[in-house]
């Protein structure tokens, strides 16, 4: 049984649960149960606050975890980063009241900065020889300058709208982050096999992203032109239709590529074009 730590609620919860569900790992969530076994796969999910995930994986209470890279950096826990998961993209940035003049990092000397990520900030300041005071606050960081708690803030930025709404401007980006899969060091062979199986499924989901299954009918004398426009996983499938002189062509194609060539396909006589989502693709 492989134990996976996932954020109990918050920004990464839904995407993490969706990832497991797309990999056909069935978890019956219930608000009050914090450890849930999958019904069809040797995995159990431990629901935690995101701050606690790196440590729980590092000490082996959970075997793997889904957490923001920013939390891994902040906690400094010794875990293996297995892969990026393609969601929870954000950055950790310094910001200050928008009307203040800013001419570079020296501005922060002697200033007070509010943050929930003191370790990442401390490391950045010391690397740049800036002597600033850090005020630790666990949430609503962006309000700090407005209410006189601090001169500047260091927090997560994604769209930037929280900064704008609080009259702040981003002046330095310190790190980029996204959700990652972390694993305890020296996972035993049996658990490693379960993790490999999960990764195989994630790869199949990833390979299918932005790909479409295309079916179309075309006159036989235009088939070679049409298949020259269409790549396939290996090569397109061509099958005769009941109506003589016509064939059906099936292939897998990048969604973007499809929109580029649709005009040419039609110009070559393609008809009845069907585009179908692909759930998983094993190449």
Of 225, 215, 199, nearest to 282 (Cα)? 199
Establish if 162 lies at the interface with ligand PRP (CB under 6 A). Answer: yes
Closest distance between ligand PRP and the C-beta of residue 281, in Å?
31
Is 238:225 a contact under the CB 8 Å cutoff? no
* Residue 50 makes contact with Mg ion by CB under 5 A: yes
74 vs 172, beta carbon nearer ligand ATP: 74
- Under the binding rule (CB under 6 A), the answer on residue 158 touching ligand PRP is yes
How many residues bind to ligand ATP according to rule CB under 6 A? Answer: 16
236 φ/ψ angles, rounded to the nearest 5 degrees:
-60, 155
Closest CA to 115 of 92, 82, 98: 92
- Give yes or no for residue 138 binding ligand PRP (CB under 6 A): no
Shortest reach from residue 144's CB to ligand PRP, in Å: 11
Q: How far is CA 187 from CA 9, 52, 83, 141, in A?
A: 27, 19, 15, 37
Nearest to 248 by CA among 256, 258, 238: 238
Identify which of residues 166 and 247 has a Cβ nearer to ligand PRP in the complex: 166
3-class DSSP state of 225:
helix
- Does position 166 bind ligand ATP by CB under 6 A? no
What is the number of the residue whose Cβ is closest to ligand ATP? 68
Q: Which stretch binds Mg ion (CB under 5 A): 35-43, 49-57, 163-171, 234-242?
A: 49-57
**Rounded Cα distance, 128 and 106, in Å:** 9
Q: Is 227 in the site for ligand PRP (CB under 6 A)?
A: no
Select from Mg ion, ligand ATP, ligand PRP, none the partner in contact with residue 40, using the beta carbon and a kind-dependent cut-off of 5 to 8 Å.
none
Sign of the dihedral through C-alpha 230, 235, 240, 244: positive
Instruction: Assess 46 for contact with ligand ATP (CB under 6 A).
Output: no
Restricted to residues 59-98, the positions that interact with ligand ATP (CB under 6 A) are: 68, 70-71, 88-90
Q: End-to-end CA distance of the chain, in Å?
A: 28
* Residue of 170, 3, 154, 15 lying closest to 74 (CA atoms): 154
Q: Residue 70 Cβ, how far from Mg ion at the closest point, in Å?
A: 10
Write out the residues near ligand ATP by the rule CB under 6 A: 7, 10-12, 49-51, 68, 70-71, 88-90, 156, 158, 177
């Amino acid at each position: 049984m492989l134990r996976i730590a996932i954020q109990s609620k918050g920004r990464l919860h839904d995407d993490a649960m969706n990832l497991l569900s797309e990999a056909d790992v069935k978890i019956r969530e219930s608000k009050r149960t914090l450890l849930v076994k999958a019904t069809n796969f040797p995995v159990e999910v431990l629901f935690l606050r995101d701050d606690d995930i790196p440590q729980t994986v590092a000490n082996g209470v959970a075997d793997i975890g889904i957490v923001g890279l920013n939390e891994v950096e902040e906690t400094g826990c010794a875990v293996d980063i297995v892969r990026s998961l393609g969601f929870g993209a954000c950055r950790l940035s310094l910001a200050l009241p928008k009307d203040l003049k800013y001419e570079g990092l020296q501005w922060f000397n002697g200033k007070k900065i509010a943050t929930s990520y003191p370790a990442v900030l401390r490391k950045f300041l010391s690397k740049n020889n800036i002597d600033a005071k850090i005020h630790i606050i666990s949430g609503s960081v962006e309000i700090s300058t407005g209410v006189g708690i601090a001169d500047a803030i260091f927090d997560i930025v994604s769209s930037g709208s929280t900064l704008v709404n609080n009259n702040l401007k981003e002046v330095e980006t310190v790190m980029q982050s996204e959700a990652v899969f972390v694993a305890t060091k020296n996972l035993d062979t049996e658990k490693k096999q379960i993790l490999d199986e999960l990764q195989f499924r994630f790869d199949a989901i990833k390979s299918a992203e932005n790909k479409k299954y295309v079916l179309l009918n075309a006159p036989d004398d235009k088939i070679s032109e049409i298949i020259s426009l269409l790549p396939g996983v290996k090569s397109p499938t061509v099958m005769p239709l009941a109506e003589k002189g016509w064939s059906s062509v099936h292939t897998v194609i990048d969604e973007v590529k499809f929109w580029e060539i649709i005009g040419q396909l039609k110009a070559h006589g393609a008809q009845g074009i069907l585009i179908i989502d692909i759930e998983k693709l094993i190449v």
